[in-house]
Structure 1
């Protein structure tokens, strides 16, 4: 496995300056945003698609520092019920897939999206309860008419371009658990896999090690994020895990994102790294920082130091004791 970073953390710095910084910390891979929610500060798809020279210079900037590109990321909602919004996210996704093929990047990360509750809806509708039965009807309509058709078509498009799709399991979107990921994968094909972020498992009450086991046995982990979560033992009883308060209200929220090691101890993280190896994932662990108590620089540096202690980088040795 390699330690990586979601480079959007340093979107305020020029590309080469950001690459110099992360390489100096011992990181070996970068995940780069191409637009939509992550922004495109370091990677402009239109410019790179138009110019082979620009692509060569882009790759050279990364590779000259001993880095690889683990994924291109364009997280958005291509199923948004407002067509012009959905179209923008969709167009970015398509360009990102095209660019990933040309750059020989194997994974494009995004969200599954979330539709509305009927064709003329204005806003996404994320059903989270099986009763009243209206919610089941909405869920069935979404998956039958929107989620499965879209990803069946555009999953094939990605596969035809030799790119895998890493869907981040994130609340508010149709695919947000191992079960929903596998449901879509069964319908749309093995090109669909997870960009598994344990921080989103914890707040949903899912053990990330078990999530790794469930998805890993199916070969359905395409990419992995490293971000932590802490759950407030008092506030969670007031607001529940679907706490809708702003992330800025850190004293009042039921849970919040933290830097690796500040929500769960390194033994827990070592168990995840071991589970990844056990179930066949031997790719990049990409640091994402969304810790409201730390600066980006400090949160990133601490995550690197903590993960370096537990990463399994070499190939497994033969069992000489057997």
Structure 2
């Protein structure tokens, strides 16, 4: 496995300045925003697809620093009921897949999206309870009419370009658990897999080690994010896991994102990394910084330091003791 970073934390720096910074910290791979919510500050798909010279310069900037690109990321909502929003997210995905193929990047990360409650809806609708029965009926309609058809077609599009789709299991979107991930993968094909982020498992009450084993058994982990979550017991008892307080209201939230090691101890993170090795994941562990108590520099630096202690990087070799 390699230690990497999701570069959007450095959107205030130029591309080459950001690459220099992360290389100096000792990471080996970069995940680059190519549209959607991460933005496209460091990577302009339209420009790179249209200009072979700019594409070569882009690749050289990464490779000359001893880095690789683990994924392009364009997290959006291609199933949004407002057609303009859905189209923009879809276009970002298509261009990201096309660019990933040209860059020999094996994964494009995104969200599954979430439809509305009908073709006439204005906003997404995320059912989280089976009763009243309206919610179960809505969920069936969303999956059968929107989610499966979209990803069956676009999973094939990605596969035809030799690219895998890393869907981040994130609340507010239709695919947010190992179970929903496997449901989509079974229907839409093996190009579809998870960009697994433990932080989103913890707040849902899912053990990330168990999630790794469940998904890993099916070869369904295409990429991995390293981010932690801290739960505030009192606020959790007040507001529950679906707490709607803003992420900025940290004193009142039931849970909040933290840098690696500040929500769970390093033994827990060692168990996660070991589980990844156990199921055969031998790719990038990409640090994502969304810690509201630390600067980008401090949060990222501490994550690098903490993960370096538990990363398993060398090939196992022969079990001489067996």
Give me the TM-score of the superposition, normalised by structure 1.
1.00
1:174 match? 174
CA–CA separation in structure 1 for the residues paired with 2:317 and 2:45: 41
Partner in structure 1 of residue 245 of structure 2: 245
Quote the residue 1:16 is aligned against: 16
SS of 1:223 mapped into structure 2: strand
Q: Could you say which residue in structure 1 is the equivalent of 2:262?
A: 262
CA distance in 2, matches of 1:14, 1:43: 11
Instruction: Give per-residue Cα distances to partners, 1:100-157, cap 9 Å, x unaligned.
Output: 0000000000000000010000000000000000000000000000000000000000
Deviation at 1:317, TM superposition (A): 2.3
Structure 1 equivalent of residue 314 of structure 2 = 314
Secondary structure of the equivalent of 1:224? strand
Q: CA separation in 2, counterparts of 1:180 and 1:321?
A: 40
- Whole-angstrom distance in 2 between the partners of 1:71 and 1:84: 26
Distance in structure 2 (CA, Å) of the matches to 1:9 and 1:273: 23
Give the 5 Å matches for 1:222-301.
222-301=222-301
Hey, what's the Cα distance between the residues in 1 that align with 2:280 and 2:53? 36
Cα displacement (A) at 1:267: 0.3
Number of the residue aligned with 2:118 = 118
Residue ranges of structure 2 left out of the alignment (5+ in a row): none
Q: Which residue of 2 aligns with 1:143?
A: 143
Matches within 5 A, 1:7-86: 7-86=7-86
TM-score of the pair, normalised by structure 2? 1.00
Once the two structures are superposed, the pairs formed by residues 200-215 of structure 1 within 5 Å of their partners are 200-215=200-215
The answer to whether residue 198 in structure 2 is matched with residue 195 in structure 1 is no
Structure 2: how far apart are the matches of 1:109 and 1:33? 9
Match of 1:88 in 2: 88
Aligned counterparts of 1:181 and 1:311: Cα–Cα separation in 2: 26
Q: In the TM superposition, what whole-angstrom CA distance separates every residue of 1:291-320 from its partner, at most 9, and x where no partner exists?
A: 000000100000000000110000112111
Q: Secondary structure of 2:97's partner?
A: helix
Distance, in Å, in 2 between the alignment partners of 1:281 and 1:77 is 27
Q: Distance in 1 between matches of 2:176 and 2:208?
A: 13
Taking only aligned residues, the RMSD between alpha carbons, in angstroms, comes to: 0.4
Instruction: Provide Cα deviations, 1:60-88, integer angstroms capped at 9, x if missing partner.
Output: 00000000000000000000000011000
Per-residue CA shift, 1:7-26, capped at 9, x if unaligned? Answer: 00001100000000000010
Give the 3-state SS of the residue equivalent to 1:125 in structure 2.
coil
Matches of 1:292 and 1:7, distance apart in 2: 17
- Write out per-residue CA displacement over residues 243-277 of structure 1, whole angstroms, 9 at most, x where no aligned residue: 01100110110000000000000000000000000
Q: Give unpaired runs (5+ residues) of structure 1.
A: none
> Residues of 2 paired with 1:12 and 1:249: CA distance?
24
Distance (whole Å) between structure 1 residues aligned to residue 190 and residue 316 of structure 2: 26
Q: Distance in 1 between matches of 2:78 and 2:248?
A: 27
Alignment length (residue pairs) = 322
| In 1, Cα distance between equivalents of 2:74 and 2:146 | 19
Q: What's the counterpart of residue 216 of structure 2? A: 216
State the SS of the aligned residue for 1:257.
strand
Kindly state the Cα deviation for residue 233 of structure 1 after the two structures are TM-superposed.
1.0
| Cα distance in 2 for residues equivalent to 1:159 and 1:232 | 42
Structure 2 Cα separation of the partners of residues 116 and 233 of structure 1: 32
